[in-house]
Structure 1
């Protein structure tokens, strides 16, 4: 059932931006309509939040995490490394957009930053976005969020509860779709970015743990680990060529370690970064259950729904901007400082 629009405007901060009015015989006030719409939106998102625990158990705990991340097989092995390399560029673009408001004389810079893409969308990211849209936002129903099985049903129910008390003409809320679907698309895009950032943070943590236990070194990222491995390789090669033999050479170079050449350091760093990028494509199999156990997935999904509810209710632009990618960039910067590259 759809309602056709009457004739005057609701306040600007409501979802309905098409004219809505009441004729004398209707006696339906703007306040009643606004409250009904807000009630429908609130009930819908409350039900979405109630589905979060089951959603996480199904897709981010074992064995669901395996099915979620096995999509990485194939072209994601190439897309994931490119995304990790591109992530600092996109993070800088996001920072530029925040620091250069549209009213300043740097509109051209803001526009340029706005055109920088987030990177390639991997199959894992697409799969998780689809799961959020269908299982979480649409209660397991395929199709548009505005179909009668989802948000529209809540809005119709709330409006009908108001209008059934009056003689009414139908109210058209067809433009809900025009307003809401771009907000959802942008929110899911931001959620996909968190997957790349999480993989980058995972790599930093893995390098730190590996360096601590395997080499007794503090290696806060791929660059630091590459420097350590390059030094070890240089020591091994120098010991092999030592004039008094490899054993004595190992003792000597443990006291006076040789400096690895630039070519050796660069080669080892490339190899380490490539290995970490390949690992990042599948890291979700290991770390999605960990993030689920410590509540990161739950907090992230609640934040997505909170921002989406506010944007839908107030007709604002998408406000969901997770901070994961900036945390990842801070770790990368610390890695470069520790390695002497900054």
Structure 2
């Protein structure tokens, strides 16, 4: 029988073993590649949209945490319940696995976890959470408990997506250093260097006195860079980046499993669930990975603006 989160009769060691088994099933090479089969499809389109929405997501989360610290609970709850990012098929699979294997709250057969409402519905209908829901004294209070647990689960799956973005940014940084000998924390900052290389090759190939003299000439006098070419290269690189991001989570999962990051994050998630069911919620589950990924986005934008002003 599937076991739920920690109860009074379950030892901390048993819970850790449960989490370790979950990580082994889903976040080693075989498990994560099985998860990422779902990325073959609409996730490739969702990935670039989520990259664009991520700054808004981080801003809303930070504002919500600040409001909670100021004891503006209604405002904080409203902000922290907002779902800014598009749900990916991979995230839905991870959330379903958490519900089924760690929380003993599987969704109804055939029900797709299309949003946070579906997660909350699965939580409220699970025998594991019925007593906690009844103890709330009202339907609204029970629903609020389920909503907070669902929010913690989606925050966990969102952290995985952020780590996939972070992995893509690292790959971009390494590729830029090797190929362009430049700092490129993102596809936008890489676009100028790639467009410049393409423009130079075209100019040298079309030089009327031959490519050898063309190379000498354009080594002294740089070839003109078309804004249209930069825009086209940037669009192509962003599309490539979205494809990479959709599958970069597979590599990121294995590294995080090896470093124990998935284990620690899942244990924190279970602590949050336990606190909610015990009617003693503390700090909400929060993932700092979104902030880490946004550091690269800000660096990418700053470098691109600097190159524009220099140009």
> CA deviation digits over 1:258-317, x for unaligned, max 9?
352222212111111111011111222322212211222122212222233334334337
Matches of 1:174 and 1:313 in 2, distance apart?
Answer: 10
User: Structure 1 residue 51 and structure 2 residue 18: aligned?
Assistant: yes
1:316 aligns with 2:281: yes
1:208 and 2:173 matched? yes
The number of residue pairs the alignment matches comes to 284
Equivalent in 53, 62, 68 of residue 86 of structure 1: 53
Q: Determine the structure 2 residue equivalent to 1:288.
A: 253
Equivalent residue number for residue 100 of structure 2 = 134
Specify whether residues 177 and 93 from structure 1 end up closer, same or farther in structure 2 by C-alpha distance, changes over 3 A only: closer
Report SS of the residue matched to 2:207.
coil
Q: Looking at CA atoms only, which structure, 1 or 2, has the larger radius of gyration?
A: 1
Question: Which residue pairs with 2:114 in the alignment?
Answer: none
Partner residue in 1 for 2:193: 228
Q: What does residue range 234-253 of structure 1 map to in structure 2 within 5 Å?
A: 234-253=199-218
Relative to the length of structure 1, the TM-score reads 0.71
Question: Given the alignment, which residue of 52, 75, 83 partners 1:117?
Answer: 83
Distance 1:240 1:57 in 2: 54
The alignment yields a C-alpha RMSD, in angstroms, of 3.4
SS in structure 1 at match of 2:209 = coil
**Corresponding residue number in structure 2 for 1:300:** 265
Could you tell me how far 1:90 is from its partner in structure 2? 1.6
Q: Write the distance in 1 (CA, Å) between the matches of 2:277 and 2:222.
A: 62
- Report SS of the residue matched to 1:121: coil
Change (3 A) 1:45 1:232: same
Q: Distance in 2 between matches of 1:185 and 1:57?
A: 23
Check whether the contact 1:219–1:225 (CA below 8 A) recurs between aligned residues: yes
> How far 1:71 moved relative to its partner?
0.7
Gaps of 5+ in 1: 1-38, 156-171
- Distance change >3 Å, CA 229–CA 41, structure 1 → 2: farther
Q: Distance in 1 between matches of 2:185 and 2:129?
A: 45
Equivalent in the alignment of 1:328: 293
The SS at the match of 1:218 is coil
TM-score, structure 2 normalization: 0.77
In 2: Cα distance, 1:205 partner to 1:63 partner: 23
In 1, Cα distance between equivalents of 2:91 and 2:280: 27
Structure 1 stretch displaced more, 177-186 or 206-215: 177-186
CA contact (8 A) 1:57 1:64 kept: yes
- TM-superposed CA distance for 1:322, in Å, is 0.5
- The Cα of 1:54 is off from its aligned counterpart by 0.9
Question: Structure 2: 5+ residue runs without aligned partners?
Answer: 1-5, 109-121
